[in-house]
Amino acid sequence: MEGASIDASVRLPGLYFAAAAAVWLVVGTALSVIAAFKLHSPAFLADCEWLTYGRVRAAESAVLVYGWGFNAAFAIAVWLMARLAQAEVRRPVTLVVSGVFWNVGVLLGTLGILGGYGTAVEGLEFPAYVNMILFAAYAWIAIWALLTFRARRSPHVFISQWYLLLALLWFPWVFSLAHLLLVVDPVQGVMQPLVQTWYSHSLFLFWFGGVGVAALYYLAAKLTGRSIAHYHLSTLGFWLLVIFGGWAGPARLVGAPVPAWVVSLGIAMSFVLLVVVCVWACNLVPTLARASAAVRQDVSYRFAAVGVAALLVAQVASVLLSLRGVSELLQFTFVQSALAQLNHYGFFSMVAFGTLYVMLPRITGRSWPVPSLVGFHFWSSLLGCLASVVALSIAGYKQGVGLNRLPAGEGAVPTPIIDVLQSLQPYLFTQTSAMVLLVAGHVAFLVNLGWMAASCCSCCSPASSSLPNASKAA
């Protein structure tokens, strides 16, 4: 019953953060559809200044990162920390109040971007006043998670907890410093792109990467019922990530007006991260491969397996794209968008879905109301993400080749940019269709979650401590 009491203590904040994440996910991907549609139909909603491409694209990015991503990460981090520490969450209402402030900040920031008051900084698109609200709300949520860790009854600190602590402690440092140096009192010259790439790289690698990898280690062990393969290597991967991971950001600045040694250092550190990727592969792939046939039918296992594959492919692709010759061809093309989607959706979102499908039935004591929607969500997410990444990758390669093609013969002129973009229309249309498929899957997830939350009241029975099997409809 100890596990049930721990799950019950997470019920209120877990449901709140998961529901908020699902709502923002639908809003964010709806904005993604609008932005994708404008790439091949520029006149779409052109008369509404709130929905111009620049504003919609910035709002989409901010909503998916701070609305969907952070709310899902909060839910997962609080639950995993309580589970692994074998400690109940004290005063869970405090977490909900902090979550309300966080989401009010996200709402104000989104309206500010659409109203024309956003910044031009990637990852910090919200107006400056919103970042203060987000920082204060985050501080309370992180403190409560750390207090849960401090109250742990388990003498052993698992590798998942290491990654959670890394995420919880690293984000406020990089967020506050980037806000100060890029928004409040912007630095000048070459320092701006260096700070910006450092922040965006750290945001994904240490916050989303930390929570996502922590969840993968937990899911791999719990779903398969086996210990993590080569577990002794996990600490090596963790410390290599901590020591060298933050230096890899400048690899994105090939050709930028920054010192050459800074870019070379970033490229070198990207190759060091390959060792971290190898450790993750040695730990997670054999563990998941040993799952029984019954476990492989569970949708949580499928989401986790897709997340592991996307993580490994995305990190290897990041290293390849950091090479100077490759970067010169593909740096300013849709290939970068494909890589970002593979990282944020193929890895983090897939892992978050898998964790939520395990977590929510535990903390509510309810099975998923419509199992068929669970299966639809998985296949729409997988096919939509795959189609979008492939379409953007092909479009980006053709775009890079077209823009860098040298004309032959005296007096010849380069290929006009408009002709290059017109040749990409079939791929951009495919990407739009993929985004529509993703929206459909996210609506199914939101409906299922809303139905579950509605059926869960204060007098519901304690959550079962066994893993649910109601999501095997996929």
Residue 68 lies in a domain: yes
pLDDT at 458: 47
Residue 127 falls within a domain, yes or no? yes
CA distance 397 to 329: 8
In 3-state terms the chain splits into helix, strand, coil percentages (rounded to 5) of 80, 0, 20
- 101: its two tokens: 């402030």
Quick one: pLDDT band at residue 462, thresholds 50, 70, 90? very low
**What CA–CA distance (Å, rounded) separates 338 from 390?**
7
**pLDDT for 328-346, tens place per residue?**
888 888 899 999 999 999 9
Domain containing 25 equals 1-156
In the predicted model, what is the mean pLDDT of residues 95-121? 92
Residues ≥6 apart with Cβ < 8 Å to 466: none
pLDDT at 23: 96
Residue 206: inside a domain, yes or no?
no
Mean pLDDT of 138-151: 88
Q: Structure pTM?
A: 0.91
Judge whether 198 lies within some domain: no
Q: Is residue 457's pLDDT more than 60?
A: no
Number of domain units in the chain: 1
The pLDDT mean for the chain works out to 87
Contact at 8 Å (CB) between 22 and 353?
no
* 3-class DSSP string for 270-315: HHHHHHHHHHHHHHHHHHHHCCCHHHHCCHHHHHHHHHHHHHHHHH
Which three-class secondary structure state does DSSP give residue 37?
Answer: helix
Secondary structure class of 370 (helix, strand, coil): coil
Q: Tell me, yes or no, whether 308 lies in a domain.
A: no
- Check pLDDT > 60 for residue 171: yes
Domain-located, residue 72: yes
- Give the pLDDT band (50/70/90) at residue 474: very low
- Region 462-470: mean pLDDT is 43
**Residue 469 predicted with pLDDT over 50:** no
Q: Average pLDDT in the 351-369 region?
A: 91
pLDDT in tens, 370-424: 889 999 999 999 999 999 999 999 999 988 888 777 665 555 566 677 777 888 8
Query: Is residue 39 assigned to a domain?
Result: yes
437 close to 33: Cβ distance less than 8 angstroms: no
Whether residue 209 is contained in a domain is answered as: no
